[in-house]
């Protein structure tokens, strides 16, 4: 059985691989990806796996964006840390899931369900396992997001002094040389203790977007968007950045949808 793991936390990737190796099934992990972009690029050049283990919140957005950019027809088992009410909603919609932290018995049972469906109904196994409406699931996730308590301010430390910066006053975040920087609208720059992967989950996705591996931007900081070579987009931010910021071709639809919200 050839599987793909889509999970943005390295520890979770390794733990899932370890658990898969301990099951009673012969499983080959083809690859592990942390982002929508990496997964879509892999799909463009490779045949589908037998099964995908997919986290919902990835480093560059919700994994359901993958379905809009690649033709995914194989069965999927979701790995998620969503609250119980959302899990029940997924179950109603016949979506397989594993609640983090993943238990070995639950993993074995999920794989057995897939294997039984494939062996007993070969012509409808994929449909029976996935049977997922992307629109329905995204609506469920929206309900979940609406109830999240997103971060409203950050504490900035400078020696023995501390101050806070409200998210409304933040232009963007960027990573450089193992540090993460917060850039305020007045162009003040501060080092903060969070990684970009952590910030993505703390910030309201209506206001902030991970525009590249290096930048998370506030929608109000987007000054100009230019067409660029190979169907990419160039984004100009305010305050100015020393880096040229390009949106990859596979991320363009998601970015444009975000701008129009």
Tens-place pLDDT, residues 178-222: 999 999 999 999 999 999 988 988 899 889 999 998 999 999 999
CATH of the structural domain 153-260, one choice from 3.90.1150.10, 3.90.600.10, 1.10.3720.10, 2.40.50.1020? 2.40.50.1020
Mean pLDDT of the chain: 83
Confidence of residue 153 (pLDDT cuts 50, 70, 90): very high
Tell me what the mean pLDDT of segment 102-122 comes to: 81
What confidence score (pLDDT) does residue 127 get? 40
Three-state SS sequence of 103-151: CHHHHHHHHHHHHHHHHHCCCCHHHHHHCCCHHHHHHHHHHHHHCCCCC
Averaged pLDDT for residues 215-236: 95
| pLDDT at res. 90 | 58
CA angle 106–111–116, rounded 5-degree value: 125
Residue 174 has pLDDT above 90, yes or no: yes
Which of 3.30.70.3270, 3.40.50.2300, 3.60.40.10, 3.40.640.10 is the CATH number of 2-146? 3.40.50.2300
pLDDT value of residue 145: 55
Domain spans of the chain, in order of start: 2-146, 153-260
> What pLDDT band is residue 237 in, cutting at 50, 70 and 90?
very high
Structure-block tokens of residue 91: 């179950």
CA distance 89 to 84: 9
Q: What percent of the chain has pLDDT over 90?
A: 46
- Output the pLDDT for position 246: 94
pTM (predicted TM-score):
0.56
Alpha helices in the chain (DSSP H): 10-21, 36-45, 65-69, 84-92, 104-120, 125-130, 134-146, 196-202, 252-260
């Amino acid at each position: 059985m050839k599987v793909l793991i889509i999970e943005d936390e390295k520890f979770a990737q390794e733990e899932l691989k370890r658990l898969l190796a301990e099951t009673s099934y012969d499983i080959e992990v083809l690859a592990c990806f942390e982002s929508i972009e990496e997964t879509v690029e892999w799909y463009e050049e490779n045949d589908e796996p037998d099964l995908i283990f997919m986290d919902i919140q990835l480093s560059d957005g919700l994994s359901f964006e993958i379905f809009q950019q690649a033709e995914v027809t194989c069965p999927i088992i979701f790995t998620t840390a969503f609250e119980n009410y959302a899990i029940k909603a997924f179950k109603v919609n016949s979506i397989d899931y594993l609640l983090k932290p993943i238990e070995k018995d639950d993993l074995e049972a999920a794989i057995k369900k897939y294997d039984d469906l494939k062996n007993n109904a070969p012509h409808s196994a994929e449909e029976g396992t996935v049977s997922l409406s992307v629109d329905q699931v995204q609506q469920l996730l929206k309900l979940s997001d609406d109830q999240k308590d997103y971060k409203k301010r950050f504490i900035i430390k400078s020696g023995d002094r501390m101050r806070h910066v409200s998210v409304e006053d933040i232009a963007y975040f960027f990573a450089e040389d193992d540090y993460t920087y917060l850039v305020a609208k007045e162009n003040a720059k501060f080092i903060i203790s969070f990684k970009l992967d952590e910030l993505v989950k703390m910030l309201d996705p209506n206001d902030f977007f991970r525009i590249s591996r290096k930048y998370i931007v506030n929608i109000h900081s987007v000054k100009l968007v230019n067409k660029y070579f190979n169907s990419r987009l160039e984004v100009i931010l305010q305050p100015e950045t020393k880096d040229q910021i390009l949106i990859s071709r596979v991320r363009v639809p998601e970015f444009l949808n975000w701008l129009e919200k």
